[in-house]
Each structure stands twice: as C-alpha cells, then as structure tokens.
Amino acid sequence: MSANTIDVVVEEIRNESPQVKSFKLKPSDTSRLLRCGAGSHVKTYVQFDQNLFENNYSLINDPDQSGYYQIAIRRSDESKGGSVCWHDQVKEGDQLKISYPKNHFSLSFSAKHHVLIAAGIGITPFIAMAADLKKKGKSFELHYAARSNDLCAFHSFLNSVYPDETQFYFSKQGNRMTTDVMNNQPIGTHVYFCGPEKMINEYAEAARSYGYPDSNIHFELFVPPDFGPMEPFQVKLNKSNKIVEVPEDKSLLDILLKHGIDAPYSCKIGGCGSCQVDVLEGEVDHRDLFLTDKEKEEKSVICTCVSRAKVKNGSIVLDL
C-alpha cells in the first residue's frame, strides 16, 4: 500500500438502490480534505479475511465540499470481492485508508455544451460533474440508462435537482438509450460516457462517426479492457541490461514493480497513459484505451498496465 494515503472514517452509509450503497468518508482527524475537481476518483484500501481490496471509485460529492468525500458502490458477485466487502462488511464508524484524489476524467473548459451519458453505476462521476456545471451556469444534458426505475440509483435526487437536464432510459420498459443522443448536437459539444466497456466502445465509435474529434470524446473505465487471452513474453530493460519474464496471468507493470523497478503508473486499467514507457525494440500488442490509433502506429511506447508483446513468447526492449 502506498504511504501517500488519507485516514478516513465511514460516517454514513445510505442505500441508493437495491444494489448500490453510498459511503460518506470524513477525515479521522481534524484535517480538511483537498478540493477535488468533478470527475475525480480515489483508490480505497479495505482489509478483510487477510485480503487487501484496492479499488477505484468516483467521488460523487460536490467538488466544493471540503468536509468529506462520498463514493457509491454497486454490489457485484462477479467482481474480485471489493464491492461485496464494501456492501457486506464495511460499517459506519469503520476506519480505513484512501488515496488522494486523481482526475483522468475532467470536464473540458473549452466545451460549449456537455453531453453526459451514463449506464448503470457509470452515473457516479456525473453526479459531481452536474453539480459543477449547474453551479457555473454551463450548458449540459444528462442521459442515464438503467434496467428500471427501482434499480436506478439516485433517480429521485437527479429528478428533483436536475429535472430539465436529465433524461432516463429504462430497458425493462422498452426504453433503451442509443447513440443518437450525441447526434445533431451544436458545434463545440463534448461528450462524456461511463459504463460497461462494450457501451464505451460503442459510443466512442459512434461519436467519431458523427464527426466528433477525439479531443471532444471523454470516457472512464474502472476495469481493464478485455482484448482476449494474455500470453507470456520477455522484457529486456535497456539501462540495466536486465531481462524479466511476464507470465500470462500478470501485467508488465506488475512484474516491473515486483522487481523493484521505479515504473510510473496511476489508473492500472489503460485509461490514463501515466504508465507509458518508450519501447526501443519489439512490437506492442496495444490494449489501452488512452492512445489513439494514430499514436499506436506512430509512437514506440507501451502502457505497461495492460499492453503486452505482440507475439506469444515474444520480447520487447524498454527504455528503463
């Protein structure tokens, strides 16, 4: 665990839907929390049954609120256990550690209009964004897809605070959200989406087909993208002449850190580009969602948290 953490106490837990709980986190002492921009997230560290669960969660509180941070978590039995631990084990009064906020999903200052598109628990970053945009008098609209009204977290809140800006879509009622919400928007519009990887890929592709430049398309993932089977490969570190093996069940970043190599990183899911390292030799199987297709063709870099060597049992040489 990083030493650069904040000690917090769980002050309040609320049921936001049958599957979603929100958690208000206050500092354990009298410290004031840093202001975080809309779209920020924190990494949480929860220990249970000798397992340490490290998970990233969006901050849903108003960015100007300095007294506490608030996150919302959907319980998922298919996850690695973090969400289940939060829902079933974490109680009010518990003390835990979180990272300082980071923001890889910030609002654009240059946007003339903002279109926020959420599916399921992907609503979380947009709660803070809507508060920020409304306070600053910015033009925005929020599109939120869920299975049904009763499974729609924060439905009453959004309906009462942003009734003119919010449109809901409930699939169980046959009302599905489509990419058309991005079409025929005014020039200068920026689009933002958060939800399952399949949805993000679909909406990013559609946005480009509608004529949005990549600079106007924003999205956030909290799990690594799935690009198929992971194969083992070898890495040579040019500066030390050291050779390390990356097995099929580990990332390149995992192995670099295991060997005590000072490799940069942040999100660990291929979404922020913080872990880019120059590649001196070898072909890269790019699995990140940060680099554009053009950059992947022109730049000899690798995002070590998700990308790999292109050929099974292949090798690459890094500028490390």
Q: What is the structure's pLDDT at 264?
A: 85
CA dihedral 50, 81, 105, 6 (to 10 degrees): -30
Q: Which helix (H) or strand (E) holds 26?
A: strand 20-27
Task: Report, as an integer, the average pLDDT of 18-43.
Answer: 92
pTM value surpassing 0.95 = no
Q: How many CB atoms lie within 10 A of CB 194?
A: 27
The residue with greater pLDDT, 263 or 170, is 170
Cα(114)–Cα(189) distance, rounded to whole angstroms?
6
Let me know: does 182 contact 117? Beta carbons within 8 Å: yes
Confidence of residue 222 (pLDDT cuts 50, 70, 90): low
CA distance 171 to 152: 11
Taken in order of first residue, the domains within the chain and their CATH numbers are 5-99 (2.40.30.10), 113-220 (3.40.50.80), 233-318 (3.10.20.30)
Residues 6+ apart with CB under 8 A from 270: 221, 224, 225, 287, 288, 289, 290, 303, 305, 306, 307
- Give the strand pairing for 140-146 and 69-74: unpaired
Rounded Cα distance, 233 and 246, in Å: 5
pLDDT digits (tens, 9 = 90+) for 173-219: 999 999 999 999 999 999 999 998 889 989 999 999 999 999 999 99
Degrees to nearest 5, angle at CA 131 with 127 and 133: 115
Q: What is the mean pLDDT of the chain?
A: 92
Q: Kindly state the average pLDDT of the residues 265-276.
A: 84
